[in-house]
Amino acid sequence: MTVKIAPSLFGADLGNLENQIKAVEDCKVEMLHIDVMDGNFVPNIAFGPDQVKMLRGKTDLFFDVHMMVVEPDRFIPRFVEAGADMITVHQEATTHLHRTLQLIKSFGIKAGVVLSPGTSIKTLEYVLDDIDMVLLMTVNPGYGGQSFIESSINKIKDLSEMIKGYNIDIQIDGGINLETAPKVVEAGANVLVAGSFTFKGDIAKNISALISAVNF
């Protein structure tokens, strides 16, 4: 199984986004993870649709947009128009999860559901036919640089069992580094978001170390 790497732009030098994106693009990563925070669902604010649209003009990387936004339906069309290739929404942030997923799909892009650490995977049971990816948060959403929550390993294993037979990726976001990455992959994850790990120091070196750590 190939593990996909998704550098999280939120961990980048935010004053130099174009350079930072070029650097990860040169590393042939599969996607760019873009965090959208509304200051309400999470206690922080990040990347709006106009900014994503500007970045779309700078790179052909696959845009994986992680919406930490209450009632995301209000903004989904704007992010599609801005160039999102996949949108993931928090189960906890939408009243009608199925409707939200249908809305994303209606634009012909990929759709996924995100679960915060305290949310059960049972909430996914009836939408498995409607999603391309599940994102399990392994920190509480809102900030980069937090420590990986160890109990997530069992959650990843349980999810991995639950989606057997479906074509659904398991993405992990929060506290990914050389120590946690092999553990989550062993548990069943195949897409790794890495923010502070990617952008602290030498980006190319960091990404190649991460790839080596998960190809066992």
Q: In Å, how far are 176, 185, 214, 216 from 90, measured between CA atoms?
A: 20, 22, 27, 31
Is 129 designated active site? Answer: no
* Alpha carbon 169 to its chain's center: 11
Residues in region 46-105 near Zn ion by CB under 5 A: 66
Residue of closest CB approach to ligand DX5: 195
**203-214 and 17-26 helices, crossing angle to 10°:** 40
Q: Is 66 annotated as a binding residue?
A: yes
- 33 scored as a contact of ligand DX5 (CB under 6 A): yes
Q: How many residues does the chain have?
A: 216
Residues in region 59-98 near ligand DX5 by CB under 6 A: 66
The answer to whether residues 192 and 184 touch, using CB atoms and an 8 Å cutoff, is yes
Which residue among the candidates 38, 64, 169, 173 is catalytic per the annotation? 173
Number of residues that bind ligand DX5 (CB under 6 A): 22
The single residue among 3, 4, 5, 8 that binds ligand DX5, judged by CB under 6 A, is 8
Q: How far apart are CA 116 and CA 111, in angstroms?
A: 17
Is 35 designated active site? Answer: yes
When CB distances are held under 5 to 8 angstroms depending on the partner's kind, the choice from ligand DX5, Zn ion, none that residue 76 binds is none
- 35 scored as a contact of ligand DX5 (CB under 6 A): yes
Q: Is 142 annotated as a binding residue?
A: yes
Q: In Å, how far are 63, 86, 136 from 111, measured between CA atoms?
A: 12, 6, 14
Residues in region 182-211 near Zn ion by CB under 5 A: none
> Cα dihedral sign for 107, 5, 176, 149?
positive
When CB distances are held under 5 to 8 angstroms depending on the partner's kind, the choice from ligand DX5, Zn ion, none that residue 190 binds is none
Q: How far apart are CA 86 and CA 44, in angstroms?
A: 22
Q: Is 98 annotated as a binding residue?
A: no
The SS3 assignment for 164 reads coil
Residues labelled catalytic: 35, 173
Binding residues for substrate: 8, 66, 142-145, 173-175, 195-196
Binding residues: 8, 33, 35, 66, 142-145, 173-175, 195-196
Binding residues vs ligand DX5 (CB under 6 A): 8, 10-11, 33, 35, 66, 139, 141-146, 173-176, 193-197
